[in-house]
Structure 1
């Protein structure tokens, strides 16, 4: 498992335009970020392009990272996930929530190394998701794993966009509280 203090220190150095720190951050985090991107993108060549763009964005935005806002790896994963979703949306390739191969979306989000910590995190997430109202849980999964917008979710669930925002906000708050207790 990567040390948060090391990653945060690298981000601070990158904010000061330290190229060696960017190379080190890349070496430490690229496999996991590539896995996040590939699970969304599903095209290796395209995922590699997105990965390079992610590190360009990290280079530009490293100064905006603060440890008080959260751990560095989830911050980096969010950049990767959002960039991959942006590319898919631009291409008009947003996919539906149900995979034909039956693959569990949690399996797609797991760390490609399948480390013990990853398995524990996945189990904790699964347990906390099981506590949510099924419609709220599905909204979170569709939004954060499939890239659905609030408007798309509103259409899917035949609810106003503000209701979907409330569902997502409450579900994420519940997940956060649950994961803090479980971890």
Structure 2
């Protein structure tokens, strides 16, 4: 496995130039030199090896097709490729959120915007995505109506009485559901009781 920290950006640029011309050998060299580092990066974002492998594959597919449009004056080669695989990882993360059966969009628009911020540093994106993923997984452990009550109260900023109206249940029930759900979320998040 090559030491990606020692890779000369000039060499990466030459390989990318070759990839832009359809040179499979240049693509193989580029892949071999950069994939370990990029895989580690997307694995930290997604937390699951199979998802990270898929995101990396999607990323390199995009590198192969996007190489003709690469502009060295705008970004260093590794920065450009890191941005591509980061976006593919975030696409996978958003897909997980949608597939988690969370009864509609529960995330605050600011969280989603932070996940998609093109100016966010890799560390910013990693922290936001890790927190969002953890919350999503913990929210998925709640029963359907309980999850919906928490989502309406905290992500849609509805009062307990408004949540009770939305769900057509007594306000006391809503308060109980939310209190118990928050306790469960706190335990899940603090103990790392996540799949």
TM category (shorter chain) comes to 0.5 to 0.7
TM-score, normalised on structure 1? 0.53
Distance verdict in 2 for CA 1:68–1:86, change over 3 Å? same
Distance verdict in 2 for CA 1:141–1:10, change over 3 Å? closer
Give 5+ residue unaligned stretches, structure 2. 1-5, 101-106, 108-119, 133-153, 156-195
Match of 1:66 in 2: 71
Match of 2:7 in 1: 2
Tell me the alpha carbon deviations over residues 128-172 of structure 1, each in whole angstroms, 9 at most, x when there is no partner: xxxxxxxxxxx86885222499xxxxx99xxxxxxxxxxxxxxxx
Distance between the aligned counterparts of 2:23 and 2:7, measured in 1? 20
Aligned counterpart in structure 2 of residue 90 of structure 1, from 91, 95, 98: 95
Matched, 1:53 2:34: no
Distance verdict in 2 for CA 1:42–1:61, change over 3 Å? same
Match of 1:144 in 2: 125
Aligned counterpart in structure 2 of residue 79 of structure 1, from 73, 79, 84: 84
CA displacement at 1:60 relative to structure 2: 0.5
Distance verdict in 2 for CA 1:24–1:140, change over 3 Å? closer
Match of 2:188 in 1: none
Distance between the aligned counterparts of 1:141 and 1:5, measured in 2? 23
- Aligned pair count reads 109
CA displacement at 1:12 relative to structure 2: 0.8
Aligned Cα root-mean-square deviation (Å): 3.1
Matched, 1:22 2:27: yes
Larger RCO (CA within 8 A; separation ≥ 6):
1
Distance between the aligned counterparts of 2:44 and 2:124, measured in 1? 14
Give 5+ residue unaligned stretches, structure 1. 97-138, 150-154, 157-183
Distance verdict in 2 for CA 1:142–1:27, change over 3 Å? closer
SS at the partner of 2:78? helix
Runs of 4+ in 1 over 2 A off after TM superposition: 139-149
Q: Aligned runs of 1:115-130 on 2, under 5 Å?
A: none
Match of 1:13 in 2: 18
Distance between the aligned counterparts of 1:142 and 1:80, measured in 2? 14
TM-score, normalised on structure 2? 0.50
